[in-house]
């Protein structure tokens, strides 16, 4: 029993839920709606959506550290749905996935270690914000640029050029080559492992699946065919995000399972509608739209860094609380 | 009630009355909180605990019309906390300077019947740690341990932020006298009250002097799913992480069944 005169929550019958780890009460409907909105966008564009989910959570007042750590488990759930569906369609290259994972797990461990280190010196929020600015403005800018070019090309009646040309880049000259049968490429493991490390690291520090960087890298750098690229990337996201969830929970205790569950429920539902909506819009416009969205989130972070915060001081509990 | 209790009480009373008091007034505080153990449920949106007390005097009719003043200090569980200050560096605002506060109360509330500065002079306030500005908040600055002056910017920022969260509280009109010797005060407990044991210290003043003091305590326990999750996350991080990962797999799998299209 709460002590005397316990007030009823103002916003009606229990839509207010206390997030145990984030340590703030939130409106359940708001979080579900955010999950659904991001799920919609991710379903529409076939992306994980972590790079939108994490910033949104930060914008509604959840601490960046908790947002990153919790979104990792949400990403694991949504990529598992994707991976299962690609597995059934045999659109996953198991060998490529395995080699990527070797790097990915190492990168995730490294990322979580870096996360804990930055948190202990009080610069974690800054690191998260700067990473978002750099990554989102770069990726968003590129996408907008590509989107405009593609639209202009189709206006002029030209056929979009096939990007996957025959010329092999220098990455193909590296040693330790193995054959990735389903992707029909013969490639050194070094760049594959390196990309895995990078994605695992970025994913665990930023709370993103990393698909939106991984897919272009696999296509343009490693010349992985589009047939296997998305499914294989979903496997990497799934495993790195699972590892990140466990490691974040074990080291900094910041994974909010209640928050994650709400996001998952909203996310998977939204994704289904998004996927249907995505089939009705032309690819180029869709990509331009996504580019603008990514760019906007990046700019929002940049502005936040530059303006004087309303509160210059922050408190963090570090010691025993009992 | 057993027969021993009234007798014990009587003996105690007699003992108190029999104390040689050298002619001075002797006040005794008897206090009680409305609930010594509070269990906070998940939908707890903040509430109030009530402290009742009475001032017992051996001289039932005080000749001097002295008025009593009360200062009630509620101290919650303690923890180490870091306060950081942002500064503009290279055009962006980053955490630059920091202070570590050692074993400071997570919850702190000071209640009195009138402004503390009019209850006791500054030296008494400092010695008795009356009011948030005088409660000891030890800081570590490099290798030094000290509580700095109360207008130190880290200290005042710390107190301000805690107050904004409803965890530090000072109210100079919270203690109400129902009769000249019977008083009550409400102890507000916001939704984010930390669990643990809380000490309540009640100090009775008159004419700026401490007459007597007493202590009581209460405990806050949280129950329900959210608290279970929070405890699990903190105490069994690895298992909690594995379970969360399994939950992610389960919900991903469920989604692929529910929305299977191929």
Q: Is residue B182 within 8 angstroms of chain A, CB to CB?
A: no
B165, B251, B256, B258: best mutation site toward chain A, by most A Cβ within 10 Å?
B251
> Does any domain span residue B254?
yes
Whether residue B126 is found in the same domain as residue B49: yes
> Rounded distance, CA A206 to CA A298, Å?
13
> Does any domain span residue B15?
no
Give the mean pLDDT of A118-142: 87
Contact between B105 and B76 under an 8 Å Cβ cutoff? The reply is yes
Range of the domain at B243: 224-262
**Residue ranges of chain B whose pLDDT lies below 70:** 1-25, 42-43, 59-66, 142, 147-150, 260-262
Per residue in A195-209, pLDDT (tens digit) is 999 999 998 998 888
Q: Which of B44, B226, B233 has the CB atom closest to A6's CB atom?
A: B44
Per residue in B121-140, pLDDT (tens digit) is 888 888 888 888 888 888 87
Would you tell me which residues 158-217 of chain A have a C-beta closer than 8 angstroms to some C-beta of chain B? none
As for how many domains chain B has, the answer is 2
Whether residue B126 is found in the same domain as residue B190: yes
A87, A313, A314: best mutation site toward chain B, by most B Cβ within 10 Å?
A313
Whether residue B118 is found in the same domain as residue B200: yes
Q: Is residue A38 within 8 angstroms of chain B, CB to CB?
A: no
> Does any domain span residue B19?
no
Contact between A195 and A214 under an 8 Å Cβ cutoff? The reply is yes
> Rounded distance, CA A293 to CA A140, Å?
7
Whether residue B178 is found in the same domain as residue B262: no
Whether residue B172 is found in the same domain as residue B249: no
Partner-chain contact B49 A322, CB within 8 Å: no
> Does any domain span residue B91?
no
Give the mean pLDDT of A273-285: 73
Identify the CATH number of the domain in which residue B132 sits: 2.60.40.3880
> Rounded distance, CA A245 to CA A108, Å?
10
Q: Is residue B50 within 8 angstroms of chain A, CB to CB?
A: yes
Partner-chain contact A88 B262, CB within 8 Å: yes
Per residue in A30-54, pLDDT (tens digit) is 989 999 988 888 877 777 788 888 8
Q: Is residue A119 within 8 angstroms of chain B, CB to CB?
A: no
Closest CA to B138 of B97, B166, B105, B107: B105
What's the distance, Cα to Cα, between the start and end of chain B in Å?
Answer: 74
Q: Count Cβ atoms within 10 A of the Cβ of residue A43 and give its class: 0-12 exposed, 13-18 middle, 19 or more buried.
A: buried
Whether residue B120 is found in the same domain as residue B199: yes
* Among A69-73, A303-307, B226-230, the least confident range: B226-230
Q: Tell me the chain A residues in contact with residue B159 when contact means C-beta distances shorter than 8 Å.
A: none
pLDDT at A1: 36
List of residues 6+ apart from B166 with CB closer than 8 A: B46, B188, B190, B192
Q: Which of B45, B93, B194 has the CB atom closest to A7's CB atom?
A: B45
Q: Which of B191, B196, B237 has the CB atom closest to A250's CB atom?
A: B237
> Rounded distance, CA A201 to CA A103, Å?
10
Partner-chain contact B40 A5, CB within 8 Å: no
Chain B nearest CA to A149, separation (Å): 33
> Does any domain span residue B192?
yes
Partner-chain contact B154 A313, CB within 8 Å: yes
Name the residue with tokens 């008795």.
B128
Whether residue B59 is found in the same domain as residue B114: yes
Whether residue B201 is found in the same domain as residue B235: no
> Rounded distance, CA A171 to CA A168, Å?
8
> Rounded distance, CA B210 to CA B68, Å?
10
pLDDT at A11: 42
What backbone phi and psi angles, to 5 degrees, belong to B65?
-80, 45
A40, A90, A278, A315: best mutation site toward chain B, by most B Cβ within 10 Å?
A315
Give the mean pLDDT of A228-256: 89
Q: Which of A20, A77, A123 has the CB atom closest to B227's CB atom?
A: A20
In percent, how much of chain A has pLDDT > 70?
Answer: 89
pLDDT at A107: 94
Q: Tell me the chain A residues in contact with residue B80 when contact means C-beta distances shorter than 8 Å.
A: 317-320
Whether residue B116 is found in the same domain as residue B206: yes
Q: What is the ipTM of this complex?
A: 0.78
A240, A273, A137, A69: CA torsion to nearest 10: -30
- The helix/strand/coil state of A53 is helix
> Does any domain span residue B89?
no
Whether residue B197 is found in the same domain as residue B251: no
pLDDT at B27: 78
**Residue with more model confidence, B127 or A284:** B127
pLDDT at B17: 47
Whether residue B168 is found in the same domain as residue B212: yes
> Does any domain span residue B63?
yes
A67, A70, A75, A80: CA torsion to nearest 10: -170
> Does any domain span residue B199?
yes
Q: Count Cβ atoms within 10 A of the Cβ of residue B262 and give its class: 0-12 exposed, 13-18 middle, 19 or more buried.
A: exposed
Whether residue B187 is found in the same domain as residue B112: yes
């Amino acid at each position: 029993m709460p002590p005397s005169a316990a007030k009823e929550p103002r916003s009606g019958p229990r839509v207010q839920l206390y997030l145990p780890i984030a340590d703030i009460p939130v409106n359940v409907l708001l979080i579900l709606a955010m999950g659904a909105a991001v799920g919609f966008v991710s379903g529409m564009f076939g992306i994980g959506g972590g790079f939108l989910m994490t910033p949104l959570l930060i914008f509604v007042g959840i601490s960046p550290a908790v947002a990153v750590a919790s979104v990792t488990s949400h990403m694991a759930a949504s990529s598992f749905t994707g991976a299962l569906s690609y597995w059934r369609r045999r659109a996953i290259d198991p060998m490529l996935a395995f080699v990527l994972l070797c790097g990915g797990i190492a990168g995730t461990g490294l990322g979580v270690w870096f996360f804990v280190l930055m948190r202990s010196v009080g610069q974690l929020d800054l690191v998260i914000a700067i990473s978002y600015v750099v990554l989102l403005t770069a990726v968003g800018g590129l996408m907008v640029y590509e989107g405009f070019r593609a639209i202009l090309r189709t206006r002029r009646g030209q056929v979009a050029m096939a990007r996957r040309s025959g010329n092999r880049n220098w990455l193909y000259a590296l040693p330790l080559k193995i054959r990735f049968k389903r992707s029909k490429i013969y490639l050194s493991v070094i760049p594959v492992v390196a990309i895995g490390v990078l994605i695992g690291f970025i994913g665990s520090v930023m709370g993103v699946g990393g698909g939106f960087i991984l897919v272009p890298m696999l296509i343009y750098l490693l010349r992985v065919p589009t047939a296997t690229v998305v499914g294989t990337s979903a496997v990497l996201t799934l495993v790195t995000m699972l590892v990140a969830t466990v490691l974040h929970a074990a080291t900094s205790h910041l994974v909010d399972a209640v928050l994650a569950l709400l996001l998952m429920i909203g996310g998977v539902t939204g994704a289904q509608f998004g996927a249907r909506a995505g089939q009705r819009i032309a690819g180029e416009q869709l990509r331009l739209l996504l580019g603008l969205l990514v760019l906007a989130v990046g700019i929002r972070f940049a502005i936040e860094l530059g303006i004087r915060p309303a509160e210059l001081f922050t408190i963090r509990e570090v010691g025993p609380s009992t | 009630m057993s027969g021993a209790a009234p007798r014990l009480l009587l003996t105690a009373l007699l003992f108190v009355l029999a104390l040689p008091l050298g002619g001075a007034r002797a006040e005794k505080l008897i206090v009680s909180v409305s609930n010594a153990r509070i269990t906070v449920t998940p939908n707890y949106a903040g509430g109030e605990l009530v402290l009742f007390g009475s001032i017992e005097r051996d001289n039932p009719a005080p000749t001097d019309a002295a008025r009593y003043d009360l200062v009630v200090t509620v101290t919650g569980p303690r923890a180490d906390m870091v306060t950081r200050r942002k500064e503009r560096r290279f055009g962006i605002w980053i955490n630059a300077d920091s202070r570590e506060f050692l074993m400071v109360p997570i919850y702190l509330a000071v209640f009195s019947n009138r402004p503390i500065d009019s209850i006791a002079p500054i030296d008494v306030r400092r010695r008795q740690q009356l009011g948030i500005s005088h409660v000891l908040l030890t800081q570590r600055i490099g290798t030094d341990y000290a509580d700095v002056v109360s207008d130190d910017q880290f200290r005042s920022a710390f107190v301000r932020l805690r107050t904004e969260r409803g965890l530090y509280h000072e109210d100079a009109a919270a203690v109400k006298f129902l009769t000249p010797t019977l008083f009550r005060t409400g102890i507000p407990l916001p939704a984010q009250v930390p669990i643990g044991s809380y000490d309540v210290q009640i100090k009775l003043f008159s004419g700026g002097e401490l007459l007597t003091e007493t202590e009581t305590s209460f405990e806050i326990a949280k129950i329900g799913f959210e608290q279970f999750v929070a405890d699990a996350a903190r105490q069994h991080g690895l298992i909690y992480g594995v379970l969360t990962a399994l939950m992610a797999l389960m919900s991903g799998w469920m989604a692929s069944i529910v929305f299977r299209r191929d």
